Amino acid sequence: MILTVIIVNYNVKHFLEQCLFSVMKAIHGLDAEVFVVDNNSVDGSCKMVREKFPLVKLIENKQNYGFSYANNQAIRQSSGKFILLLNPDTVVEEDTFTHVTDFMEDHSDAGGLGVKMIDGKGNYLPESKRSVPTPLVAFYKITGLSGLFPGSRTFNRYHLGFLNPDETHEIEVLSGAFMCLSRSALEKVGLLDEDYFMYGEDIDISYRLLKGGYRNYYYPGTTIIHYKGESTRKSSINYVLVFYKAMIIFARKHFTHSNARIFSLLINLAIYFRASVAIVTRFIKISFLPVLDALAIFTGYYLALPYWEHYKPGGGIYPDTFLFVAVPAYIIIWLLSVSFSGAYEKPVKLIKLLKGLSIGTVIILLIYSLLNEQYRFSRALILFGFAWSAVILTGLRFLLHLSGLRAYRLDTQDKKKIVIVGYMPENRRVNSLLKQSGIRFFFAGNISPLPGNEIDSDYIGNVSQLKEIVMVNEIDEIIFCASDISSQEIIRNMHYLTDVNVEYKIAPPESISVIGSNSIDMAGELYVIRNNSIARDKNHKKKRLFDIAASLSVLLCSPFLIFINDKPANIFINVFRVLSGSATWIGYHKAGEPGKTDLPPVKPGVLTPLDVHRRANISVELAKKLNLVYSNDYKTINDLLILYRGCRNLGRNVS
What are the pLDDT digits (tens) for 603-628?
899 998 888 765 556 667 777 777 87
Residue pair 554/561 in contact by the 8 Å Cβ criterion? yes
User: Which of 108-117, 483-492, 509-518 is least confident?
Assistant: 509-518
- Domain-located, residue 136: no
Q: Which of 213, 229, 245 is the last residue of a domain?
A: 229
Residue where one domain finishes, among candidates 528, 556, 580: 528
The secondary structure element, H or E, covering residue 426 is helix 424-437
Same structural domain, 125 and 14: yes
Q: Are residues 442 and 385 in the same domain?
A: no
Name the strand (E) or helix (H) holding 606. Answer: strand 605-607
Same domain, residue pair 16 and 56: yes
For residues 611 and 353, which has the higher predicted lDDT (pLDDT)?
353
Same domain flag for 170 and 201: yes
Domain membership of residue 328 as a residue range: 284-399
- 3-class DSSP state for residue 171? strand
Task: Give the number of other CB atoms < 10 A from CB of residue 405.
Answer: 10
Single-letter amino acid, residue 540: H
Determine, yes or no, domain membership for 477. yes
pLDDT band per the 50, 70, 90 thresholds, residue 330? very high
The tens digit of pLDDT for each residue in 136-166 reads: 776 777 666 777 788 787 888 778 888 899 9
**Residues 62, 123: one domain?**
yes
CA distance 611 to 626: 11
Residue 104 lies in a domain: yes
pLDDT at 474 over 90: no
β-pairing verdict for 525-528 and 82-86: unpaired
Query: Is residue 342 domain-shared with residue 433, that is, in the same domain?
Result: no
| Residue 408, in any domain of the structure | no
147, part of any domain: no
Same domain (yes/no): 524, 542: no
Inter-CA distances, 372 with 369, 375, 376, 377, Å: 8, 6, 7, 10
Q: What is the pLDDT of residue 517?
A: 61
Could you tell me the CATH number of the domain that includes residue 482? 3.40.50.720
134 within some domain: no
For the segment 43-99, what is each residue's pLDDT rounded down to a tens digit? 788 989 999 999 999 999 988 888 889 999 999 999 999 999 999 989 999 999 999
Q: What is the CATH number of the domain that holds 220?
A: 3.90.550.10
Percent of the residues in the chain that have a pLDDT greater than 70, as a whole number: 84
Contacts for 22 with CB less than 8 Å, ≥ 6 apart? 90, 91, 92, 93, 94, 482, 487
Task: Of 18-32, 57-71, 262-276, 479-493, give the lowest mean pLDDT range.
Answer: 262-276
What is the tens place of the pLDDT at every residue in 222-268? 999 998 654 444 445 555 556 666 666 666 666 666 666 776 676 66
Q: Say whether both 77 and 216 belong to one domain.
A: yes
Res 237: pLDDT: 53
Q: What mean pLDDT value characterizes the chain? A: 83
> Final residue of a domain: which of 496, 528, 560?
528
Residue 267 lies in a domain: no
Give pLDDT tens digits for 305-318: 888 887 776 667 88
Together in a domain, 501 and 441: yes
Q: Give the CA angle between residues 504, 33, 171 to the nearest 5°.
A: 65
My answer on whether 437 and 521 are in the same domain is: yes
Query: Does residue 576 register a pLDDT over 80?
Result: yes
Q: Work out whether strand 178-182 and strand 82-86 pair parallel, antiparallel, or are unpaired.
A: antiparallel
In total, how many domains does the chain have? 4
Could you tell me if residue 608 is inside a domain? yes
CA distances from 175 to 97, 161, 226 (A): 16, 15, 11
Least confident of 106-110, 135-139, 430-434, 483-487: 135-139
What is the rounded CA–CA span in Å between residue 355 and residue 596? 37
